[in-house]
Amino acid sequence: MKTVEVVVPCYNEEAMLNMFYVESEKIYKTIDGYSFSYIFVNDGSRDKTYPILKDLAGKHDNVKFISFSRNFGKEAAMYAGLCNTTADYVIVMDADLQHPPALVPEMIKQIEAGYDCCAALRTSRKGESKIKSFFSGMFYKFSNRFTDVQLVQNAVDFRIMSRQMVDNIVKLSEVQRFSKGIFEWVGFETSWIPYENVERIAGETKWSFKSLFKYAITGITSFSITPLRFLTCFGLVISVVAFLLIVFTLIRKLAFGIDVSGYASLLIAVLFLGGIIELSLGILGEYIANIYLEAKDRPIYIIQDTNIKESK
Ligand code: UDP
Ligand code: MG
């Protein structure tokens, strides 16, 4: 009998948890030869998520839970779950049933066929605003062009992974986590299965525009120094242009005397360079912030309560 552990990050999911367990069990009971268990990670929820998880764990012995001391974010919750897995295969999925457990039988088939990972690919962005889809598309284009890992657009965090892959992901202990990149960075062969996006049944999305933007910046600064290289090249080009302009202006002054006109060109040059300098400082600042956050080496999460013996 092979073992499968399902890692579920939960933040304010009181309305979903029991339904999630029942719906998952319905599917997993039909898969022969595998024993399924769950690791729910309560990411500092403010609602009844924690007592509900304790209750679930009391009723079913295939339920483990980890409860954080505060909200550390979905990335931290997934990491805590992964660190505490021991099964042959590990599934990561959301608690809100937007990642249909009905895909799991096919995922298991794929991983048995020799893949190290089988991940879900959203075919539609139903229930998502046009603006969000637009920016998400832009992010993938930008990120794939400028970073060394190639992200797959519309890939979601819902996936099954081999023990070997999980062991390697856990080794990447950076504080600023960007799983979409980490999953690709560790390599291993992934098979993709498409699915229709389903809307949330209850509760609400925890992603605001601000948090997505922050996540995107983390993604880029954690996986690429191309923006820094770009600044260097851009600086070089501007320096060459400036040098040519200096020569031109000097010659003009020496040959034709002082020329006082040129207010517009002066202003344009000053504003343009000012903008570029500010932008460069901003980009540099993002990298320094990343170094700062990593250098402090604080734990990624703090566990307040768990029913896992010797939890990590
Ligand atoms: N989540 C979490 N911590 C957070 C935010 C979200 O553990 O700070 C969990 C949440 O409970 C859910 C999953 O991450 O299981 C995905 O969140 P959500 O459904 O809000 O994201 P969306 O589906 O809108 O991308
Ligand atoms: Mg969701």
Decide if pLDDT at 124 tops 70.
yes
Decide if pLDDT at 247 tops 80.
yes
Percentage with pLDDT > 70 across the chain:
98
Ligand with the closest atom to the CA of 200:
2
Predicted confidence (pLDDT) per residue in 142-166, tens digit:
888 888 788 888 888 999 999 999 9
Question: Which residue among 19, 67, 94 is best mutated to probe the pocket of ligand 1, counting the most ligand atoms within 8 A of its Cβ?
Answer: 94
Does any ligand 1 atom lie closer than 6 A to the CB of residue 248? no
Residue 17 burial (C-beta neighbours within 10 Å; 0-12, 13-18, 19+): buried
Q: Mean pLDDT of all residues in the chain?
A: 90
Distance CA(169)–CA(159), nearest Å, equals: 13
Does any ligand 1 atom lie closer than 6 A to the CB of residue 184? no
Distance CA(79)–CA(301), nearest Å, equals: 9
Q: What is the pLDDT of residue 127?
A: 65
DSSP letters spanning 225-279: -HHHHHHHHHHHHHHHHHHHHHHHHHHHHHHH------HHHHHHHHHHHHHHHHH
Alpha helix stretches (DSSP H) within 2-73? 17-28, 49-59
Does any ligand 1 atom lie closer than 6 A to the CB of residue 94? yes
Does any ligand 1 atom lie closer than 6 A to the CB of residue 78? no
Whether the complex's predicted ipTM is more than 0.90 is answered with yes
What is the pLDDT averaged over residues 59-75? Answer: 95
What is the pLDDT averaged over residues 297-303? Answer: 95
Pairing of strands 190-195, 63-68: unpaired
Decide if pLDDT at 259 tops 70.
no
Which ligand 1 atom lies nearest to the CA of residue 93? 15
User: Which residue, by CA, sits nearest to atom 24 of ligand 1?
Assistant: 205
Amino acid at 248: F
Q: What is the pLDDT of residue 132?
A: 79
Exposure class string for 37-74: b at 16+ Cβ within 10 A, else e: bbbbbbbbbeeebbebbbebbeeeeebbbbbbeebbbb
Which ligand 1 atom lies nearest to the CA of residue 98? 23
Which ligand 1 atom lies nearest to the CA of residue 94? 15
177 neighbors 76 (Cβ within 8 angstroms): yes
pTM of the model: 0.87
Does any ligand 1 atom lie closer than 6 A to the CB of residue 73? yes
Percentage with pLDDT > 90 across the chain:
62
Decide if pLDDT at 6 tops 70.
yes
Distance CA(22)–CA(274), nearest Å, equals: 59
Q: Output the CA 174–ligand 2 centroid distance in Å.
A: 24
**Phi, psi torsion values for 255, nearest 5 degrees:** -80, -40
Ligand with the closest atom to the CA of 204:
1
306 neighbors 189 (Cβ within 8 angstroms): no
Diameter of the chain measured on Cα atoms: 92
User: What's the DSSP call for residue 102?
Assistant: G
What is the pLDDT averaged over residues 208-223? Answer: 86
Residue 275 burial (C-beta neighbours within 10 Å; 0-12, 13-18, 19+): exposed
206 neighbors 12 (Cβ within 8 angstroms): yes
Decide if pLDDT at 309 tops 80.
yes
Q: Output the CA 299–ligand 2 centroid distance in Å.
A: 26
Residue-range domains of the chain with CATH: 2-224+298-306 (3.90.550.10)
Distance spanning both ends of the chain, measured CA to CA: 25
Q: Output the CA 206–ligand 2 centroid distance in Å.
A: 8
Q: What is the pLDDT of residue 197?
A: 79
Does any ligand 1 atom lie closer than 6 A to the CB of residue 95? yes
User: Which residue, by CA, sits nearest to atom 13 of ligand 1?
Assistant: 94
Whole-Å CA distances, 16 to 71, 244, 262: 18, 65, 66
Predicted confidence (pLDDT) per residue in 38-53, tens digit:
999 999 999 999 999 9
Which ligand 1 atom lies nearest to the CA of residue 10? 11
Give 206 or 46, the one with higher predicted confidence.
46
Decide if pLDDT at 210 tops 90.
no
Question: Which residue among 78, 91, 179, 206 is best mutated to probe the pocket of ligand 1, counting the most ligand atoms within 8 A of its Cβ?
Answer: 206
What is the pLDDT averaged over residues 287-310? Answer: 93
Distance CA(40)–CA(66), nearest Å, equals: 6
Which ligand 1 atom lies nearest to the CA of residue 78? 7
10 pairs with which residues across the strands? 42
Distance CA(304)–CA(67), nearest Å, equals: 6
Distance CA(184)–CA(169), nearest Å, equals: 10
